[in-house]
């Protein structure tokens, strides 16, 4: 047996022993036997200068990177919708079983760590990345290789993405803080995130993390049909899987599982912040689909979040695109769930009154879904306590505010600078008219050129832009070209660009699909609109109110006069993609993604 064959055999043997020890907690050899084989491999690597891609010596770390490189996921990583009560969970469950009466569900721990996406090809780990915004993350392959529960190779030869949660066990966390007095961490989650996002891979290795896998992204043909099969596939390939996994059918069974997880929470050696409920069958998942933010086939039941108290120093009133006035609380900085909290949403003035809030008082704070800080209520008044007074005038343009429902609005649609800025940047965003080069700062500058509404963009000239600070010939021409190109906008993008309150990207597509053109949508009644999925009375009324408003009428009539008045193009035809969902990955050289999407849809696909 030559040296290369010896190394290959040692690597395979050591990786199998490591999986037995770190993943399955069932070692088949003594530490001395493992160490002797490991030392033999290190000696051969030094002698030959060769380190195989899946060698366990990668686990030590030591590589120091200069920067994180971006990574585009092959398939988008969605976040999960949240249920904070069993009533909310029951509503979600009822929608599923109404469509699929015999659906089965899986219930798992919701680990509180950092989401990772592991890509394997030809059996080897070729990339690891953070979740990022769901589309793009940061490449942390070198760091992931130091984590002993991440397989460096698997038996599946084709390309596949495996998703999981990077965690630091509480026993490891406590031991680490005990042995490293100069580097103390406030939470295991913070320690795990800091280890994974550390340019020195030796630091990652030192913190002894775990990765718990639970989902699949891009899949080049595994044949996995449901969550049960996925878990078996993960286990067979040496991944750690969820410590709690049950398959149930009734809502009562789901509830019992969640209550059981809640009882276990304080005894676990890792952080969880809830339970995840998923539809088991992958075909059902495909049929249920996604909103623009969440899969419809899964939901996270969130346990009560960590709460602290701090001082509410002041309240800032902010103006949004629709004129809505939203209060933002400025807090005395405090640590919560491993982050420093300085600001929190107060929702609206009615909410302030209901919670009996006042500045200079101590308030209860919770990180809602561990992301957005929320003020829960008054904890204690102090000698500096002052009542919060609702503004009577807009903090930007001083117009007298009006109240609609629980919210205050600035009625100065055409004159309020903040409203105008926000509407223009929203109109130019990628999911709207996709006009590149117009940021918040640029929108502010355009106001000096009498761009009061989005339709005024189409009257701009290059000569006008050249009068603005920072605008030269090329930048000005690029913006004019982008504006002209955007005139061919699709109907869903046009509807979204109007900035109708409560109408996001997915809702705009539904409206376009149903009404086919703007005239029909404008003429729609509440009773017609609420027939659509996800459209209730509030959303329907928002649509009606927009088209009945002076601003909505002038804006739509202005676009009609400019002949920017798209109709819905029926794209689903008989073709090779009929009834199929297609995912575009990698780089397209002969056309843009948008053009490729249109071709797919014309051939019957989604």
Considering 72, 82, 84, 110, which one is annotated as catalytic? 110
- Rounded CA separation 429/423 (Å): 10
Residues 6+ apart with CB under 8 A from 126: 119, 120, 141
Is 246 one of the annotated active-site residues of the chain?
no
The two tokens of residue 170 are 């509480």
- Rounded CA separation 235/372 (Å): 35
Q: In what order do the strands lie in the sheet with 298-302?
A: 81-83, 298-302, 272-279, 105-111, 245-248
The full DSSP string for 53-110 is: TT-GGGGG---B-SSPPEEE-SS-----EEE-SHHHHHHHHHHHHHH-TT--EEEEEE
User: 3-class DSSP state for residue 329?
Assistant: strand
Q: Within 10 A of 572 (CB to CB), how many other CB atoms are there? A: 15
Helices (H), 355-490: 417-428, 440-446, 462-465, 473-485
- Given a contact cutoff of 8 angstroms between Cβ atoms, the answer to whether 514 and 485 are in contact is no
- Given a contact cutoff of 8 angstroms between Cβ atoms, the answer to whether 118 and 162 are in contact is yes
Positive or negative CA dihedral for 283, 287, 292, 295?
Answer: negative
- Given a contact cutoff of 8 angstroms between Cβ atoms, the answer to whether 93 and 82 are in contact is no
Main-chain dihedrals φ then ψ at residue 453, nearest 5 degrees: -135, 165
DSSP bridge pairs for 241: 213
Main-chain dihedrals φ then ψ at residue 279, nearest 5 degrees: -70, 130
Main-chain dihedrals φ then ψ at residue 490, nearest 5 degrees: -80, 155
Q: 111: phi > 0 → left, psi -120 to 50 → alpha, else beta; which?
A: beta
Element (H, E) at 275: strand 272-279
Main-chain dihedrals φ then ψ at residue 448, nearest 5 degrees: -70, -15
- Given a contact cutoff of 8 angstroms between Cβ atoms, the answer to whether 113 and 172 are in contact is no
- Given a contact cutoff of 8 angstroms between Cβ atoms, the answer to whether 156 and 120 are in contact is yes
Main-chain dihedrals φ then ψ at residue 554, nearest 5 degrees: -65, -40
Which one, of 511, 509, 513, 538, lies nearest residue 524 by Cα? 511
The two tokens of residue 272 are 């969880």
Question: Which positions are annotated as active-site residues?
Answer: 110
């Amino acid at each position: 047996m030559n040296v290369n064959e010896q190394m290959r055999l040692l690597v395979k043997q050591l990786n199998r022993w490591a999986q037995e020890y770190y993943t399955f907690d069932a070692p088949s050899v003594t530490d001395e036997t493992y160490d002797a084989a490991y030392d033999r491999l290190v000696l051969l690597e030094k002698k030959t200068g060769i380190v195989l891609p899946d060698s366990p010596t990668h686990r030590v770390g030591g590589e120091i990177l200069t920067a994180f490189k971006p990574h585009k996921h092959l398939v988008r990583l969605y976040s999960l919708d949240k249920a904070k009560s069993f009533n909310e969970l029951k509503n979600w469950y009822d929608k599923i079983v109404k469509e699929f009466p015999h659906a089965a569900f899986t219930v798992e721990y919701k680990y509180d760590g950092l989401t990772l996406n592991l890509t394997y090809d030809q059996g080897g780990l070729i990339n690891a990345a953070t979740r990022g915004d769901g589309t793009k993350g940061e490449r942390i392959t070198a760091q992931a290789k130091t984590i002993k529960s991440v397989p460096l190779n698997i038996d599946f030869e084709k390309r596949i993405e495996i998703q999981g949660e990077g965690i630091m066990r509480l026993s490891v966390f406590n031991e680490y803080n005990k042995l490293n007095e100069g580097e103390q961490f406030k939470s295991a989650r913070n320690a795990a995130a800091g280890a994974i996002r550390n340019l020195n891979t030796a630091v990652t290795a030192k913190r002894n993390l775990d990765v718990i896998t639970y989902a699949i992204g891009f899949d080049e043909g595994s044949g996995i049909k449901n969550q049960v099969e996925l878990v078996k596939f993960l286990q067979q390939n040496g991944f750690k899987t969820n410590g709690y996994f049950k398959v149930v059918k009734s809502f009562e069974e789901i509830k019992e599982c969640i209550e059981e997880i809640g009882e276990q929470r304080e005894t676990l050696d890792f952080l969880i912040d809830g339970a995840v409920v998923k539809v088991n069958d992958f075909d059902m998942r495909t049929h249920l689909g996604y909103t623009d933010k969440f899969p419809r086939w899964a939901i996270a039941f969130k346990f009560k979040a960590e709460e602290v108290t701090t001082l509410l120093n002041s309240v800032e009133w902010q103006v949004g695109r629709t004129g809505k006035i939203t209060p933002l609380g400025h807090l005395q900085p405090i640590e919560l769930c491993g982050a420093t909290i300085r600001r929190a949403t107060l929702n609206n003035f009615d909410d302030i009154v209901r919670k009996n809030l006042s500045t200079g008082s101590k308030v209860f704070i919770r990180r809602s879904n561990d992301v957005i800080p929320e003020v829960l209520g008054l904890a204690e008044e102090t000698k500096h306590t002052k009542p919060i007074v609702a503004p009577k005038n807009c903090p930007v343009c001083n117009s007298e505010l009006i109240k609609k429902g629980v919210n205050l609005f600035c009625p100065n649609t055409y004159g309020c600078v903040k409203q105008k800025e926000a509407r223009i940047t929203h109109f130019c965003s990628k999911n709207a008219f996709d006009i590149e080069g117009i940021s918040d700062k640029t929108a502010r500058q355009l106001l000096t050129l009498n761009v009061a509404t989005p339709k005024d963009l189409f009257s701009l000239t290059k000569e006008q832009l050249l009068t603005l600070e920072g605008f030269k010939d090329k930048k000005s021409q690029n913006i004019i070209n982008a504006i002209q190109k955007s005139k061919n906008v699709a109907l869903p993008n046009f509807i979204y660009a109007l900035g109708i309150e409560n109408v996001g990207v997915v809702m705009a597509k539904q409206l376009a699909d149903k009404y086919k053109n703007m005239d029909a949508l404008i003429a729609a009644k509440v009773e017609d609109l609420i027939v659509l999925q996800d459209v209730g009375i509030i959303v329907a009324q928002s649509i009606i109110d927009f088209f009945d408003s002076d601003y909505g009428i002038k804006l739509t009539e202005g676009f009609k006069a400019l002949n920017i008045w798209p109709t819905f193009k029926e794209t689903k035809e008989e073709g090779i993609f009929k009834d199929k969902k297609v995912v575009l990955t990698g780089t397209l050289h002969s056309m843009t993604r948008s053009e490729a999407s249109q071709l797919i849809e014309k051939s019957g696909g989604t």
